[in-house]
Amino acid sequence: MCALPLHLWTLILAFRDLSWLTDRTNAWDAVGVLCYGLLFAFLESVVVFLAASLLGFLTPPRWEPKRRFAVLSIVVLVMSLWAMVSQLFFLMNVHVPGAIIAFLVRSGHPARLLYAGVLTVVGASFVVPGVLVVRPGRGTGVMTGLIDRLGLLATFYLVFDVAALVIVVIRNL
């Protein structure tokens, strides 16, 4: 689950870069950049996995492994989604709507209001799915099923990583 969002994001951006890299260098170099990106994504996945594992120590011991796994996966996924959103603002050149800025300015405490708003939205995005998964019921089962399916997809990415490693080794011989 750690590998999935990181690899997905890397692949989206790397394919986006592929054409201009090919124009400026050649297809082999452009593939090289993609391979380095995948390798770094793999390393980042390992780091995120270790961080999530450490976070696992903070979960109550009475939770069964499935529930613990589901909660940590939710945390990683939501964090990744927010990280993607923060970059999408730049990528798609999206600006905060003028009406919201005007409202914040009129409030007299724009920074406070902005932080409070962001904290509420971001907090809710973690708490709502987290509670759904933690509470007894279908939440944990749904999440575990989702993890199983996404896990299969992530395995493909790991195959790409192996291919990327081979290409990087060849390039550095």
Partner 1 sequence: MESSISRRDFLKMAGILPLSLGLPPFLRMYNPSQPPADGRKNVLVIVFDAFSAYNIPIYGYARETTPNLSRLAERAVVYHNHFAAGNFTTPGTASMLTGTLPWTHRAFQLNGTVNEAYAHKTVFEAFSGYHRIVYSHNPLVNTLFKQFTADLDEYVPQDRLFLTADSLVHNLLGNDEDIADVGWTRTIKKGEDGYSYSLFLSDLYALSIQNKIAKVGSRYPRGIPSIRGDNYFLLEDAIDWLQNQIGRLPQPYLGYFHFMPPHAPTSTSIDFYGTFMHDDYSPPWKPTDILSAKLTRPDLMRQRAAYDEYILYLDREFGRLFDFLDGSGVLENTWVVLTSDHGELFERGVRGHISPLLYQPVVRVPLMIFEPGRASGMQIDAATSAVDLLPTLLHVSGENPADWAEGVVLPPFAPTAPDLQRVVYALHPKENDPDKALTHASAMMVQGKYKLTCYFGYEQLGNDQIRVELYDIQSDPEEMHDLTDEAPDTAAALLAVLKQKLDEVNRPYL
Say if residue 27 is exposed, middle or buried (CB neighbours under 10 Å; 0-12, 13-18, 19+). exposed
Is residue 83 a contact point for partner 1 (CB under 8 A)? yes
From 22, 36, 52, 63, residue interacting with partner 1 (rule: CB under 8 A):
36
According to CB under 8 A, which residues from 95 to 154 bind partner 1?
Answer: none
From 54, 64, 90, 159, residue interacting with partner 1 (rule: CB under 8 A):
90
Of 32 and 139, the one with the shorter C-beta distance to partner 1 is 32
CA angle, residues 92, 81, 102, in degrees to nearest 5? 55
From 19, 27, 47, 100, residue interacting with partner 1 (rule: CB under 8 A):
47
Stretch that binds partner 1, among 66-74, 76-84, 128-136, 147-155 (CB under 8 A): 76-84
From 27, 50, 91, 100, residue interacting with partner 1 (rule: CB under 8 A):
91
Locate 59 and state its tokens.
């979960």
DSSP element (H, E) containing 147: helix 138-171
From 79, 104, 122, 132, residue interacting with partner 1 (rule: CB under 8 A):
79
Three-state SS for 81-112 is HHHHHHHHHHHCCCCCCHHHHHHHHHHCCHHH
Locate 139 and state its tokens.
């939440």
Q: What is the dihedral of CA 95, 98, 103, 107, to 10 degrees?
A: 70
**Cα–Cα distance, 152 to 142 (Å, whole number):** 16
According to CB under 8 A, which residues from 2 to 31 bind partner 1?
Answer: 5-6, 9-10, 13-14, 17, 21, 25, 29
Count of residues engaged in binding partner 1, rule: CB under 8 A: 34
**Cα–Cα distance, 74 to 167 (Å, whole number):** 33
From 1, 32, 69, 72, residue interacting with partner 1 (rule: CB under 8 A):
32
Q: Which residues bind partner 1 (CB under 8 A)?
A: 5-6, 9-10, 13-14, 17, 21, 25, 29, 32-37, 40-41, 44, 47-48, 79-80, 83-84, 87-91, 168, 171-173
